Structure 1
Amino acid sequence: MKEKISLNVFFWVALSFFSAHHSFGQSFHKYRIPKTDVFSVGIGPSFIYSDNAGDFRTFTFEWNPALTVSYTKRLGSQFGIQTSLGAQQLVTNGSTNPGILALWERSGSAARFRGTAIFADVVPILYVIPYKNHFERPQVNLYGGLGIGVMHVFQTKFFSMNSDEPKSKGNISTGYIPLRGGISFKVGALTDIALEGTVLFTFSDNLDGNANYNSYNDYLAQAQITYKRFFNFRKE
Protein backbone atom coordinates (compact mmCIF):
# COMPACT_ATOMS: atom_id res chain seq x y z
CA MET A 1 0.00 0.00 0.00
CA LYS A 2 2.78 2.37 0.99
CA GLU A 3 4.59 1.47 -2.23
CA LYS A 4 1.47 2.33 -4.26
CA ILE A 5 1.12 5.69 -2.50
CA SER A 6 4.81 6.44 -3.11
CA LEU A 7 4.45 5.60 -6.79
CA ASN A 8 1.40 7.88 -7.07
CA VAL A 9 3.24 10.73 -5.33
CA PHE A 10 6.25 10.22 -7.59
CA PHE A 11 3.99 10.13 -10.65
CA TRP A 12 2.26 13.42 -9.76
CA VAL A 13 5.53 15.13 -8.83
CA ALA A 14 7.11 14.01 -12.10
CA LEU A 15 4.06 15.10 -14.08
CA SER A 16 4.06 18.54 -12.39
CA PHE A 17 7.79 18.94 -13.07
CA PHE A 18 7.36 17.96 -16.72
CA SER A 19 4.42 20.36 -17.16
CA ALA A 20 6.33 23.23 -15.56
CA HIS A 21 9.41 22.46 -17.62
CA HIS A 22 7.32 22.25 -20.81
CA SER A 23 5.59 25.56 -20.06
CA PHE A 24 8.92 27.21 -19.33
CA GLY A 25 10.33 25.80 -22.55
CA GLN A 26 7.41 27.14 -24.55
CA SER A 27 7.67 30.57 -22.90
CA PHE A 28 11.43 30.66 -23.45
CA HIS A 29 11.02 29.57 -27.06
CA LYS A 30 8.34 32.23 -27.57
CA TYR A 31 10.63 34.85 -26.05
CA ARG A 32 13.47 33.79 -28.35
CA ILE A 33 11.39 34.29 -31.51
CA PRO A 34 12.78 37.51 -33.06
CA LYS A 35 10.42 40.47 -32.80
CA THR A 36 10.79 42.59 -35.94
CA ASP A 37 7.96 45.06 -35.27
CA VAL A 38 7.90 47.93 -32.78
CA PHE A 39 4.86 49.85 -31.55
CA SER A 40 5.60 53.29 -30.06
CA VAL A 41 3.62 56.06 -28.41
CA GLY A 42 5.21 59.34 -27.38
CA ILE A 43 4.02 62.49 -25.64
CA GLY A 44 5.75 65.71 -24.66
CA PRO A 45 6.13 69.47 -25.12
CA SER A 46 6.37 71.15 -28.51
CA PHE A 47 6.37 74.54 -30.21
CA ILE A 48 5.93 76.11 -33.64
CA TYR A 49 8.54 78.36 -35.23
CA SER A 50 6.65 80.85 -37.41
CA ASP A 51 6.33 84.54 -38.29
CA ASN A 52 4.09 85.42 -35.33
CA ALA A 53 5.19 82.68 -32.90
CA GLY A 54 6.90 85.09 -30.50
CA ASP A 55 10.40 86.27 -29.67
CA PHE A 56 12.74 83.27 -29.68
CA ARG A 57 15.69 85.34 -28.47
CA THR A 58 13.89 85.95 -25.16
CA PHE A 59 12.07 82.58 -25.17
CA THR A 60 8.65 84.28 -25.20
CA PHE A 61 6.95 81.58 -27.25
CA GLU A 62 4.37 78.96 -26.36
CA TRP A 63 5.02 75.33 -25.42
CA ASN A 64 2.11 72.97 -26.06
CA PRO A 65 1.56 69.18 -26.06
CA ALA A 66 2.21 66.82 -28.97
CA LEU A 67 1.31 63.14 -29.30
CA THR A 68 2.81 60.63 -31.75
CA VAL A 69 1.92 56.97 -32.43
CA SER A 70 4.36 54.96 -34.56
CA TYR A 71 4.93 51.55 -36.09
CA THR A 72 8.46 50.48 -36.99
CA LYS A 73 9.39 47.51 -39.17
CA ARG A 74 12.99 46.48 -38.55
CA LEU A 75 14.98 45.63 -41.67
CA GLY A 76 18.15 43.79 -40.70
CA SER A 77 20.38 44.63 -37.76
CA GLN A 78 20.81 48.38 -38.26
CA PHE A 79 17.84 49.76 -40.20
CA GLY A 80 14.08 50.12 -39.95
CA ILE A 81 11.13 51.93 -41.52
CA GLN A 82 9.04 54.01 -39.12
CA THR A 83 5.50 55.16 -39.97
CA SER A 84 4.08 57.81 -37.63
CA LEU A 85 0.76 59.56 -37.06
CA GLY A 86 0.42 62.43 -34.62
CA ALA A 87 -1.11 65.69 -33.50
CA GLN A 88 0.35 68.90 -32.12
CA GLN A 89 -1.40 71.85 -30.52
CA LEU A 90 -0.25 75.18 -31.97
CA VAL A 91 -0.38 78.58 -30.23
CA THR A 92 1.53 81.74 -31.15
CA ASN A 93 2.20 84.82 -29.01
CA GLY A 94 2.30 87.49 -31.73
CA SER A 95 4.29 90.66 -31.12
CA THR A 96 4.26 93.67 -28.80
CA ASN A 97 6.02 95.87 -31.38
CA PRO A 98 3.53 98.48 -32.72
CA GLY A 99 5.44 98.82 -36.01
CA ILE A 100 5.35 95.08 -36.67
CA LEU A 101 1.65 94.87 -35.77
CA ALA A 102 0.87 97.77 -38.14
CA LEU A 103 2.80 96.02 -40.92
CA TRP A 104 0.84 92.81 -40.39
CA GLU A 105 -2.44 94.73 -40.33
CA ARG A 106 -1.70 96.45 -43.66
CA SER A 107 -0.80 93.12 -45.29
CA GLY A 108 -3.84 91.32 -43.87
CA SER A 109 -1.62 88.87 -41.94
CA ALA A 110 -2.62 87.26 -38.67
CA ALA A 111 -1.12 88.79 -35.54
CA ARG A 112 -1.46 85.50 -33.68
CA PHE A 113 -3.21 82.17 -34.10
CA ARG A 114 -4.28 78.93 -32.46
CA GLY A 115 -4.64 75.60 -34.18
CA THR A 116 -4.03 71.88 -34.35
CA ALA A 117 -1.66 70.10 -36.72
CA ILE A 118 -2.38 66.51 -37.78
CA PHE A 119 0.66 64.89 -39.38
CA ALA A 120 1.77 61.58 -40.88
CA ASP A 121 5.20 60.58 -42.11
CA VAL A 122 7.53 57.75 -43.09
CA VAL A 123 11.15 57.83 -41.87
CA PRO A 124 13.97 55.33 -42.57
CA ILE A 125 15.69 54.77 -39.20
CA LEU A 126 19.38 54.05 -38.57
CA TYR A 127 20.42 52.43 -35.27
CA VAL A 128 23.92 53.43 -34.14
CA ILE A 129 24.52 50.10 -32.37
CA PRO A 130 23.30 47.24 -34.59
CA TYR A 131 21.58 44.19 -33.12
CA LYS A 132 20.14 41.08 -34.76
CA ASN A 133 17.34 40.25 -32.32
CA HIS A 134 15.31 42.12 -29.73
CA PHE A 135 16.79 39.95 -26.95
CA GLU A 136 20.32 40.91 -28.04
CA ARG A 137 19.69 44.66 -28.18
CA PRO A 138 21.97 46.90 -26.07
CA GLN A 139 20.89 48.56 -22.84
CA VAL A 140 21.28 51.98 -24.48
CA ASN A 141 21.11 52.84 -28.18
CA LEU A 142 20.96 55.89 -30.41
CA TYR A 143 18.83 56.17 -33.53
CA GLY A 144 17.76 58.73 -36.10
CA GLY A 145 16.47 59.34 -39.59
CA LEU A 146 15.14 61.74 -42.22
CA GLY A 147 11.94 61.15 -44.17
CA ILE A 148 8.87 62.66 -45.85
CA GLY A 149 5.42 63.53 -44.53
CA VAL A 150 2.16 65.39 -45.01
CA MET A 151 0.39 67.73 -42.57
CA HIS A 152 -3.00 69.39 -42.21
CA VAL A 153 -3.48 72.39 -39.89
CA PHE A 154 -6.80 73.66 -38.54
CA GLN A 155 -6.38 77.41 -38.00
CA THR A 156 -8.05 80.06 -35.85
CA LYS A 157 -6.49 83.40 -36.84
CA PHE A 158 -6.58 86.70 -34.91
CA PHE A 159 -5.66 89.94 -36.68
CA SER A 160 -4.77 92.02 -33.62
CA MET A 161 -3.53 91.45 -30.08
CA ASN A 162 -6.92 92.58 -28.77
CA SER A 163 -8.76 89.62 -27.25
CA ASP A 164 -12.10 91.07 -28.51
CA GLU A 165 -10.95 91.06 -32.12
CA PRO A 166 -13.12 88.88 -34.41
CA LYS A 167 -11.43 85.64 -35.38
CA SER A 168 -11.17 83.86 -38.71
CA LYS A 169 -11.07 80.12 -39.20
CA GLY A 170 -9.26 78.27 -41.97
CA ASN A 171 -7.12 75.26 -42.75
CA ILE A 172 -4.04 74.47 -44.77
CA SER A 173 -2.23 71.34 -45.95
CA THR A 174 1.46 71.00 -46.71
CA GLY A 175 4.26 68.51 -47.03
CA TYR A 176 7.24 68.38 -44.69
CA ILE A 177 10.58 66.72 -44.04
CA PRO A 178 10.75 65.08 -40.59
CA LEU A 179 14.10 64.88 -38.80
CA ARG A 180 13.76 62.43 -35.91
CA GLY A 181 16.30 61.06 -33.45
CA GLY A 182 16.55 59.77 -29.93
CA ILE A 183 18.20 57.68 -27.27
CA SER A 184 16.47 54.49 -26.11
CA PHE A 185 16.87 52.57 -22.85
CA LYS A 186 16.06 48.88 -22.43
CA VAL A 187 13.72 48.52 -19.43
CA GLY A 188 12.26 45.06 -20.10
CA ALA A 189 12.51 41.99 -22.30
CA LEU A 190 10.23 43.59 -24.90
CA THR A 191 10.10 47.21 -23.70
CA ASP A 192 12.18 50.34 -24.24
CA ILE A 193 11.75 53.91 -23.03
CA ALA A 194 13.20 56.62 -25.30
CA LEU A 195 13.86 60.33 -25.18
CA GLU A 196 13.02 61.48 -28.69
CA GLY A 197 13.30 64.78 -30.53
CA THR A 198 11.62 65.64 -33.83
CA VAL A 199 11.64 68.65 -36.13
CA LEU A 200 9.07 68.88 -38.94
CA PHE A 201 10.43 71.20 -41.65
CA THR A 202 7.33 72.21 -43.61
CA PHE A 203 7.08 73.53 -47.17
CA SER A 204 4.77 76.38 -46.11
CA ASP A 205 5.25 79.81 -44.51
CA ASN A 206 1.54 80.24 -43.85
CA LEU A 207 0.64 77.72 -41.15
CA ASP A 208 0.06 80.61 -38.73
CA GLY A 209 -1.85 82.81 -41.21
CA ASN A 210 1.19 85.07 -41.55
CA ALA A 211 3.54 84.70 -44.53
CA ASN A 212 6.76 86.33 -45.74
CA TYR A 213 7.56 88.32 -42.58
CA ASN A 214 10.74 86.27 -42.13
CA SER A 215 12.71 84.35 -44.73
CA TYR A 216 11.99 80.86 -43.38
CA ASN A 217 9.16 78.40 -43.74
CA ASP A 218 7.28 77.42 -40.59
CA TYR A 219 8.39 74.33 -38.69
CA LEU A 220 7.31 72.30 -35.68
CA ALA A 221 9.61 71.00 -32.94
CA GLN A 222 8.80 68.26 -30.41
CA ALA A 223 10.51 66.64 -27.41
CA GLN A 224 8.83 63.43 -26.27
CA ILE A 225 9.09 60.55 -23.85
CA THR A 226 8.35 57.47 -25.94
CA TYR A 227 7.21 54.00 -24.91
CA LYS A 228 8.36 51.25 -27.31
CA ARG A 229 7.10 47.65 -27.39
CA PHE A 230 8.58 44.86 -29.54
CA PHE A 231 6.25 42.34 -31.18
CA ASN A 232 5.58 40.68 -34.52
CA PHE A 233 2.51 40.10 -36.63
CA ARG A 234 3.16 36.49 -37.53
CA LYS A 235 1.69 33.76 -35.35
CA GLU A 236 4.11 32.60 -32.70
Structure 2
Amino acid sequence: MNKLICILLFVIVSMTETKAQFHRDYLSLSVAPSMIYADNGGNYASGEFKIRPSMALTYSKHVADHWDFRATVGMQWISANHPENEENFSGLRGEAGNFRGLVYFADASQVYYINPNIAGRRQYWVNYYVGVGLGIMHAVREEERPQQETIPGQDPTVVERRSSTNAYIPIRLGLTTNLQTLWDYGFELTALPATGSNIDGNYTRNKQLGIDILLQANFVVKRYLRR
Protein backbone atom coordinates (compact mmCIF):
# COMPACT_ATOMS: atom_id res chain seq x y z
CA MET A 1 0.00 0.00 0.00
CA ASN A 2 2.78 2.40 0.96
CA LYS A 3 4.61 1.50 -2.24
CA LEU A 4 1.50 2.32 -4.30
CA ILE A 5 1.10 5.69 -2.56
CA CYS A 6 4.74 6.53 -3.24
CA ILE A 7 4.34 5.64 -6.92
CA LEU A 8 1.22 7.82 -7.22
CA LEU A 9 2.97 10.75 -5.52
CA PHE A 10 5.95 10.37 -7.85
CA VAL A 11 3.69 10.38 -10.93
CA ILE A 12 1.77 13.46 -9.72
CA VAL A 13 4.97 15.39 -8.96
CA SER A 14 6.49 14.38 -12.30
CA MET A 15 3.39 15.51 -14.21
CA THR A 16 3.35 18.82 -12.34
CA GLU A 17 7.02 19.46 -13.08
CA THR A 18 6.59 18.52 -16.74
CA LYS A 19 3.58 20.78 -17.13
CA ALA A 20 5.29 23.71 -15.40
CA GLN A 21 8.34 23.33 -17.59
CA PHE A 22 6.39 24.25 -20.71
CA HIS A 23 4.60 27.39 -19.57
CA ARG A 24 5.66 30.37 -21.68
CA ASP A 25 4.17 33.25 -19.64
CA TYR A 26 6.87 35.92 -19.49
CA LEU A 27 7.86 39.56 -19.34
CA SER A 28 10.50 40.83 -21.75
CA LEU A 29 12.53 43.95 -22.40
CA SER A 30 13.78 44.69 -25.89
CA VAL A 31 16.13 47.33 -27.25
CA ALA A 32 16.84 47.93 -30.91
CA PRO A 33 18.44 50.02 -33.59
CA SER A 34 15.51 51.36 -35.58
CA MET A 35 14.52 53.58 -38.48
CA ILE A 36 11.45 55.19 -39.96
CA TYR A 37 10.32 54.68 -43.54
CA ALA A 38 8.76 58.07 -44.26
CA ASP A 39 8.44 60.67 -47.00
CA ASN A 40 11.39 62.72 -45.77
CA GLY A 41 13.17 60.01 -43.78
CA GLY A 42 16.10 59.82 -46.18
CA ASN A 43 17.33 58.32 -49.42
CA TYR A 44 16.53 54.64 -48.88
CA ALA A 45 17.88 53.44 -52.21
CA SER A 46 21.38 54.66 -51.30
CA GLY A 47 21.11 53.74 -47.62
CA GLU A 48 21.12 57.36 -46.45
CA PHE A 49 18.78 57.41 -43.47
CA LYS A 50 19.04 57.90 -39.71
CA ILE A 51 19.35 54.99 -37.25
CA ARG A 52 17.76 55.73 -33.88
CA PRO A 53 17.12 53.65 -30.73
CA SER A 54 13.87 52.06 -29.64
CA MET A 55 12.77 50.05 -26.61
CA ALA A 56 9.70 48.05 -25.58
CA LEU A 57 8.21 46.09 -22.69
CA THR A 58 6.13 42.98 -23.45
CA TYR A 59 3.83 40.66 -21.53
CA SER A 60 3.22 37.31 -23.22
CA LYS A 61 0.59 34.73 -22.20
CA HIS A 62 0.86 31.05 -23.17
CA VAL A 63 -2.49 30.15 -24.79
CA ALA A 64 -1.83 26.82 -26.55
CA ASP A 65 1.09 24.70 -27.76
CA HIS A 66 1.64 26.88 -30.82
CA TRP A 67 -0.04 30.12 -29.72
CA ASP A 68 0.73 33.01 -27.37
CA PHE A 69 -1.11 36.27 -26.72
CA ARG A 70 1.17 39.29 -26.47
CA ALA A 71 0.74 42.89 -25.27
CA THR A 72 3.53 45.38 -26.02
CA VAL A 73 4.20 49.03 -25.14
CA GLY A 74 7.24 50.97 -26.27
CA MET A 75 8.82 54.03 -27.81
CA GLN A 76 10.99 54.81 -30.81
CA TRP A 77 13.07 57.90 -31.51
CA ILE A 78 12.62 59.28 -35.03
CA SER A 79 14.36 61.89 -37.16
CA ALA A 80 14.71 62.86 -40.80
CA ASN A 81 17.50 63.58 -43.21
CA HIS A 82 17.26 67.23 -44.27
CA PRO A 83 16.56 67.66 -48.02
CA GLU A 84 19.81 67.85 -49.94
CA ASN A 85 19.34 71.37 -51.26
CA GLU A 86 17.43 74.55 -50.53
CA GLU A 87 15.29 74.17 -53.65
CA ASN A 88 13.84 70.86 -52.43
CA PHE A 89 13.20 72.27 -48.95
CA SER A 90 11.48 75.38 -50.31
CA GLY A 91 9.12 73.20 -52.33
CA LEU A 92 7.61 71.73 -49.15
CA ARG A 93 5.36 74.71 -48.42
CA GLY A 94 3.29 73.99 -45.30
CA GLU A 95 4.84 70.55 -44.73
CA ALA A 96 7.71 69.30 -42.59
CA GLY A 97 11.05 69.38 -44.37
CA ASN A 98 12.87 68.18 -41.29
CA PHE A 99 11.71 66.60 -38.02
CA ARG A 100 12.77 64.79 -34.88
CA GLY A 101 10.75 63.32 -32.04
CA LEU A 102 9.33 60.25 -30.33
CA VAL A 103 6.70 57.69 -31.28
CA TYR A 104 4.87 55.93 -28.44
CA PHE A 105 3.19 52.66 -29.42
CA ALA A 106 1.02 49.95 -27.86
CA ASP A 107 -0.41 46.81 -29.45
CA ALA A 108 -1.91 43.38 -28.86
CA SER A 109 -0.97 40.47 -31.11
CA GLN A 110 -1.20 36.73 -31.63
CA VAL A 111 2.12 34.90 -31.87
CA TYR A 112 2.48 31.54 -33.62
CA TYR A 113 5.42 29.31 -32.64
CA ILE A 114 6.62 27.29 -35.62
CA ASN A 115 8.49 24.69 -33.53
CA PRO A 116 7.26 24.91 -29.92
CA ASN A 117 8.57 22.73 -27.12
CA ILE A 118 5.81 20.28 -26.17
CA ALA A 119 5.98 17.74 -23.35
CA GLY A 120 6.81 14.25 -24.62
CA ARG A 121 8.14 15.48 -27.97
CA ARG A 122 11.48 16.55 -29.37
CA GLN A 123 12.92 19.58 -27.58
CA TYR A 124 14.44 22.50 -29.50
CA TRP A 125 17.19 24.79 -28.24
CA VAL A 126 15.90 27.59 -30.46
CA ASN A 127 12.23 28.35 -31.19
CA TYR A 128 11.00 30.38 -34.17
CA TYR A 129 7.82 32.44 -34.28
CA VAL A 130 5.77 34.94 -36.26
CA GLY A 131 3.15 37.37 -35.03
CA VAL A 132 0.58 39.91 -36.18
CA GLY A 133 -1.87 42.15 -34.36
CA LEU A 134 -3.36 45.62 -34.02
CA GLY A 135 -2.08 48.71 -32.21
CA ILE A 136 -2.06 52.48 -31.92
CA MET A 137 0.88 54.88 -32.10
CA HIS A 138 1.22 58.52 -31.10
CA ALA A 139 4.02 60.62 -32.60
CA VAL A 140 5.26 63.81 -30.93
CA ARG A 141 7.77 65.71 -33.02
CA GLU A 142 9.46 69.04 -33.65
CA GLU A 143 9.03 70.04 -37.29
CA GLU A 144 11.02 72.47 -39.39
CA ARG A 145 8.81 73.92 -42.12
CA PRO A 146 9.43 76.48 -44.86
CA GLN A 147 7.36 79.63 -44.50
CA GLN A 148 4.23 79.76 -46.65
CA GLU A 149 5.41 83.13 -47.92
CA THR A 150 9.00 84.37 -47.94
CA ILE A 151 9.31 87.84 -46.42
CA PRO A 152 12.63 89.73 -46.69
CA GLY A 153 14.41 89.90 -43.35
CA GLN A 154 12.37 87.06 -41.86
CA ASP A 155 13.58 83.54 -41.12
CA PRO A 156 12.53 81.41 -44.13
CA THR A 157 11.74 78.47 -41.85
CA VAL A 158 9.44 78.00 -38.88
CA VAL A 159 9.85 75.40 -36.12
CA GLU A 160 6.65 73.91 -34.68
CA ARG A 161 5.81 71.15 -32.21
CA ARG A 162 3.10 68.86 -33.54
CA SER A 163 1.66 65.39 -32.94
CA SER A 164 -0.33 62.75 -34.80
CA THR A 165 -2.02 59.46 -33.96
CA ASN A 166 -2.41 56.40 -36.18
CA ALA A 167 -3.52 52.79 -35.94
CA TYR A 168 -0.96 50.22 -37.08
CA ILE A 169 -0.58 46.50 -37.74
CA PRO A 170 2.49 45.03 -35.98
CA ILE A 171 4.32 42.29 -37.90
CA ARG A 172 6.95 40.27 -36.05
CA LEU A 173 9.42 37.55 -37.01
CA GLY A 174 11.77 36.22 -34.35
CA LEU A 175 13.68 33.50 -32.59
CA THR A 176 14.24 32.74 -28.93
CA THR A 177 16.52 30.43 -27.00
CA ASN A 178 15.16 27.60 -24.86
CA LEU A 179 17.61 27.31 -21.96
CA GLN A 180 15.00 25.68 -19.68
CA THR A 181 15.66 28.27 -16.96
CA LEU A 182 13.76 31.39 -15.90
CA TRP A 183 15.69 33.44 -18.48
CA ASP A 184 15.84 33.31 -22.27
CA TYR A 185 17.17 35.59 -25.00
CA GLY A 186 15.97 36.36 -28.48
CA PHE A 187 16.18 38.43 -31.63
CA GLU A 188 13.16 39.87 -33.41
CA LEU A 189 12.56 41.83 -36.60
CA THR A 190 9.58 44.13 -36.17
CA ALA A 191 7.65 46.26 -38.66
CA LEU A 192 4.97 48.70 -37.51
CA PRO A 193 3.19 49.91 -40.66
CA ALA A 194 0.88 52.82 -39.87
CA THR A 195 -2.50 53.31 -41.51
CA GLY A 196 -1.51 56.84 -42.53
CA SER A 197 1.42 58.88 -43.80
CA ASN A 198 1.69 61.68 -41.24
CA ILE A 199 4.09 60.30 -38.62
CA ASP A 200 6.74 62.61 -40.08
CA GLY A 201 4.36 65.56 -40.61
CA ASN A 202 4.69 65.26 -44.36
CA TYR A 203 2.10 64.06 -46.90
CA THR A 204 4.29 64.53 -49.98
CA ARG A 205 4.71 61.15 -51.76
CA ASN A 206 8.48 60.63 -51.94
CA LYS A 207 8.59 56.84 -51.48
CA GLN A 208 7.28 53.66 -53.08
CA LEU A 209 4.71 52.87 -50.35
CA GLY A 210 2.15 55.45 -49.36
CA ILE A 211 2.28 54.66 -45.62
CA ASP A 212 4.87 55.35 -42.93
CA ILE A 213 6.55 52.34 -41.29
CA LEU A 214 8.65 51.96 -38.15
CA LEU A 215 11.30 49.24 -38.50
CA GLN A 216 13.22 47.64 -35.60
CA ALA A 217 15.86 44.94 -35.05
CA ASN A 218 15.17 43.95 -31.44
CA PHE A 219 17.47 42.24 -28.96
CA VAL A 220 15.23 40.63 -26.35
CA VAL A 221 15.71 39.52 -22.74
CA LYS A 222 12.87 37.35 -21.35
CA ARG A 223 12.01 36.50 -17.74
CA TYR A 224 9.42 33.74 -17.27
CA LEU A 225 6.72 34.20 -14.66
CA ARG A 226 6.60 30.45 -14.20
CA ARG A 227 8.36 27.57 -15.88
Q: TM-score, normalised by structure 1?
A: 0.78
In percent, how many aligned pairs have the same letter?
28
- Pair 1:48 & 2:40 matched: no
- Pair 1:123 & 2:117 matched: no
Contact 2:22 2:117 in 1 (8 A): no
Aligned to 2:163: 171
Shift of 1:228: 1.2
Residues 35-114 of structure 1 aligned to structure 2 (within 5 Å): 35-104=23-92, 107-114=93-100
Residues 122 and 137 of structure 1, relative CA distance in 2, 3 Å threshold: farther
Q: 2:197 aligns with which of 205, 210, 222?
A: 205
Structure 1 counterpart SS, 2:91 = helix
Residues 165 and 102 of structure 1, relative CA distance in 2, 3 Å threshold: closer
Residues 137 and 99 of structure 1, relative CA distance in 2, 3 Å threshold: farther
Distance in 1 between residues matched to 2:95 and 2:68, nearest whole Å: 42
**Gapped regions of structure 1 (runs ≥ 5):** 1-24
1:76-134 CA-to-partner distances (Å, cap 9, x unmatched) read 11111111000000111131144432321xx311111001000000110000102236x
Shift of 1:212: 3.1
- Pair 1:223 & 2:209 matched: no
Structure 1 counterpart SS, 2:170 = strand
Residues 165 and 98 of structure 1, relative CA distance in 2, 3 Å threshold: closer
Aligned to 1:148: 134
Q: How much is the aligned-residue C-alpha RMSD, in angstroms?
A: 2.7
Moved more, 89-98 or 195-204: 89-98
Aligned to 1:196: 188
Q: 2:118 aligns with which of 111, 132, 136?
A: 132
Amino acid at match of 1:81: F
Moved more, 62-71 or 189-198: 189-198
Shift of 1:33: 5.6
Shift of 1:186: 2.6
Residues 164 and 195 of structure 1, relative CA distance in 2, 3 Å threshold: farther
1:31-84 CA-to-partner distances (Å, cap 9, x unmatched) read 946534111110010001111111111111100000011011111111111110
Contact 1:76 1:132 in 2 (8 A): no
Residues 137 and 65 of structure 1, relative CA distance in 2, 3 Å threshold: farther
Q: TM-score, normalised by structure 2?
A: 0.81
Give the total of aligned pairs.
203
Structure 2 counterpart SS, 1:220 = strand
Structure 2 counterpart SS, 1:96 = coil
Shift of 1:29: 4.9
Structure 2 counterpart SS, 1:203 = coil
**Gapped regions of structure 2 (runs ≥ 5):** 1-12, 147-154
Shift of 1:188: 4.9
Richer in helix (by share): 1
